[in-house]
Amino acid sequence: MILSKWLATLLGGTLAAQGALAIDLTVTDEASLKSAAKTVATTMMDYYNGRATANIPGKMDGTWWEGGSMFMTLILYWWVTGDTQFNAAVQEGMYFQKGDDDFFPSNYSQYLGNDDQVFWGLAAITAAEFNYPEKDGEPSWVSLAQGVFNTQYPRWDTSSCHGGMRWQIWPYQNGYLTKNAISNGGLFQLSARLALYTGNKTYAEWAERIWDWSATTPLLKQKNWNIADSTTCGTQCTDHGDFQWTYNYATYISGAAYMHNYTNGTETKWKEGVEGLYKTSQQFFPTSGGNLILSDITCEPLGNCDRNQITFKSYFSNWIGVMTTIVPGTYDMVFPQLKASAEAAAKQCSGGDDGVKCGIRWTKQAEWDKSSGLEQQMAVLGVLSANLVPFKNKAPFTADSGGTSKSNPNAGTNSSANKVPVLNTIGTGDKAGAGVLTFIFVTGWAVAVTWMIRGG
């Protein structure tokens, strides 16, 4: 049953309360999946178009990184559905935020983390892998991904823990003293994908370096395939912030999948990584959803997921879904859960005036959890698109197998990105700014020290 939008709006008030609407989905039917995905994407873009900063393409209210991750989600949506209606907005936002071809635009770069930037790079490599339309006069998608790589690997930090990417980039930031899973796993994945796309072994060497280094820390415990969210420089990366998040696991799984394929399956460590980490990802399919429905267990049961956390299931689903095209034999391992998750997610989309706004607790199934927003839409869109991947049944292109996006290994190297930003040249009129900065630095330091004491 798919009600037209005006009818849904008309009936929404009464029916939504009873959970009678929701999105109709037959998960085994391609047309049904496409139609559901379109409904969810359209609502997501209504939020995007209605933002206060709508005059700045790609910039969302109160967050910069989610623009990149939303475009990444929309690029896969386009690939599996062929629906081009959002392409203009995606291109506009991606190019507008490209900075010096490195997704490190000076408006925001002063307070970004490596993880924020890498998501835009992952969006760009996704575009390259699927021959997403490029615009004349703009840098190629793969070169934008290379620009992110080129600005990130010089930040590899050996001053503590013998290596690793810090979470945040500048010493005055709270997260400067932390090394975390998503920053390292993100660059690991980006490097692995660049290796497969371009065939350039420099990227593969970096991917392997990041994986191997992670395995010397709590960020990737190969003994039991556990991924800690973060660890701190002050303890030489021996302490561990143990919150468990879907996207941390999926970013390492995905990178290992690309490396498996890049190495032609000759190195067993990558397939072992994929399987080992998928096994421990079973914690994200709790009994409340019959061990089949994806859940960010650290926040969902408590109902306190923040807007970032609400999006994580989108990336998990996208990356795990695409993985099945490059690691033969993994379809049966993951699709029973991706299918059940999509069905449950669609049932969760029964909220709001129109009766199709999605909540986030898919394990609740038919009962809308009364939350709604762009992030909820993104999460559901991710799992619906993932279920369309087997229908598309095509692996990501590489430069040798039909990929048309042109490599530029030097992209982003002419950028000012790695110079510490001049935030406060102290002169008349700048004193307030300097005061704020000192405050942030001192607060950040206090927070970090407190955390180290607690964490140690």
Ligand X SMILES: *[C@@H]1O[C@H](CO)[C@@H](O)[C@H](O)[C@H]1NC(C)=O
> Please, which residue, 84 or 268, has the CB nearer to ligand X?
268
**For residues 104 and 312, which CB has a smaller minimum distance to ligand X in the complex?**
104
Comparison of 265 and 303: residue with beta carbon closer to ligand X: 265
Q: Which is nearer to ligand X, 107 or 236 (CB)?
A: 107
Token pair 């008030």 in the structure block, residue: 13
* Least separation in angstroms between CB 71 and ligand X: 14
63 lies in the binding site for ligand X (CB under 6 A): no
Number of residues that bind ligand X (CB under 6 A): 20
Nearest approach, Cβ of residue 103 and ligand X (Å): 10
Output 14 or 107, the one with its CB closest to ligand X.
107
Angle of CA points 130, 131, 132, to nearest 5°: 90
Cβ closer to ligand X: 252 or 262?
262
Please name which of 270, 272, 90 lies closest in space to residue 196, comparing C-alpha atoms: 270
Asked if residue 279 lies in contact with residue 339, where contact means CB atoms within 8 angstroms, the answer is: no
Does the footprint of ligand X cover residue 268 (CB under 6 A)?
Answer: no
395 forms part of the interface with ligand X (CB under 6 A):
yes
Tokens of 318: 């996208």
Do 286 and 352 meet the contact criterion of CB atoms below 8 Å apart?
no
Binding test (CB under 6 A) with ligand X, winner from 45, 219, 327, 389: 327
186 to 215, contacts with ligand X by CB under 6 A?
A: 200, 202
Amino acid identity of 349? C
Residue type, 48: Y
409 binds ligand X (CB under 6 A): yes
Among 11, 56, 333, 423, binds ligand X (CB under 6 A): 56
Please state the length of the chain: 456
Question: SS3 for 165?
Answer: coil
The stretch among 218-226, 259-267, 331-339, 440-448 that binds ligand X (CB under 6 A) is 259-267
- Least separation, in Å, of the C-beta of 59 and ligand X? 5
| Gap between the Cα atoms of 169 and 163, Å rounded | 14
84, amino acid identity: T
Q: How far apart are CA 216 and CA 320, in angstroms?
A: 25
Buried b (16+ CB within 10 A) or exposed e, 251-269: bbbbbbbbbbbbbeeeeeb
C-beta neighbour count of 446 within 10 angstroms: 11
Please report, as ranges, the residues that interact with ligand X according to CB under 6 A: 56, 59, 96-97, 105, 107, 200, 202, 260-265, 326-328, 395, 409, 414
